[in-house]
Amino acid sequence: MAEKIRCAHILVEKLTDAQQILERLKKGEDFAKLAAEKSIDGSRRRGGDLGWFGRGMMVKPFEQAAFNLQKGQISEIVKSEFGYHIIKRLE
């Protein structure tokens, strides 16, 4: 069976926004709360939760970053064609 992981993300259009959000996360702010406030995609209603996915289901830069995270870990800023992501591995 192919490996599947569950992640949440915060997606923003500007690098400066992503940098500010990452700083707030590093200071201990709640990921889901920030996702609900700041993310520009539909997952914001679920605190950024994208559910379970396997390899090949997400854009390459996102997938590579997500699969390299440990459970509970938050990524650095990841750029894709959709904008700037900050990813948290949930399970």
The total domain count for the chain is 1
Q: Which domain holds residue 57?
A: 4-89
Q: Provide the phi-psi class of 77: left if phi over 0, else alpha when psi is between -120 and 50, else beta.
A: beta
Strands 78-80 and 49-54: unpaired
The reported pLDDT for the residue numbered 1 is 63
The reported pLDDT for the residue numbered 43 is 97
The reported pLDDT for the residue numbered 2 is 80
CATH number, domain at 78? Answer: 3.10.50.40
pTM, full prediction: 0.96
pLDDT, mean of each 10-residue run, the chain (91 residues): 92 98 98 98 97 96 97 98 98 94
